[in-house]
Amino acid sequence: MQIDFQKSPDGLVPAIVQDAATLKVLMLGYMNQEAVNKTLQEKKVTFYSRSKQRLWTKGEESGNFLLLQDVKVDCDNDTLLIKANPVGPVCHTGADTCWDEVNVSNDFLAKLESVITDRKNNPTEKSYTASLFAKGINKIAQKVGEEAVEVVIEAKDNNETLFLNEAADLLFHYLILLNAKGHQLSDVLNVLKERHK
């Protein structure tokens, strides 16, 4: 792959990022040779941040990585097309893309995952979520098991409100467990998409 970094005075080329599964355009960033090398080596999309004046791996703070699937250079060798699997929302605003496009069904889940990450990274004494992270993976996994049993129990009865509340508790604790293991719901969805092929 021959990339002409010399066409730009700052030695950067635009990198258009596309969702590998949906082909939706997610964002635009800029890369130098070092960013391209790191992206290819680590399989996480890395840009050169013009504002920070350094390499910046998308998701290095939020955990919302772009997992590399493919890189192509255009016919003029001065623009990259990157196909990636996004882990969580791409935009810092919480949107799926940097053009404020949101998959409405996943919008609240993405926000909830962001809150869970915040509770883990910035714990407070009042936060139930932070207290679970403090107790460790065994306690979190135990809570998921307890909530799953409660869902099964309520499924056998006819109280829809109780069943939905227990299902919500299970999903919430499952998201905490995924986060504790370094994953998000999108990672699980990617596995399901692969199985569906």
Rounded alpha-carbon distances, angstroms, from residue 111 to 64, 96, 116, 145? 12, 11, 9, 24
Mean pLDDT of 81-105: 82
pTM across the whole model:
0.54
The string of pLDDT tens digits covering residues 103-142 is 545 567 877 888 898 899 999 999 999 999 999 999 999 9
Give residue 69's pLDDT.
93
What is the model's pLDDT at position 126?
92
For all residues of the chain together, what is the average pLDDT? 91
Q: In this structure, which CATH number among 3.30.300.130, 1.10.287.1080, 1.10.10.10, 1.10.260.40 belongs to the domain 104-196?
A: 1.10.287.1080
Q: Give Cβ neighbours of residue 56 (< 8 Å, ≥ 6 apart).
A: 46, 47, 48, 49
CB 47 within 8 A of CB 30: yes
User: Mind listing the pLDDT tens digit for each residue in 13-57?
Assistant: 999 999 887 788 999 999 999 999 999 999 999 999 999 999 999
Place of tokens 């499924």: 155
Domain boundaries, the chain: 5-86, 104-196
pLDDT of residue 107: 60
Looking at domain 5-86, what is its CATH homologous superfamily? Phosphoribosyl-AMP cyclohydrolase (3.10.20.810)
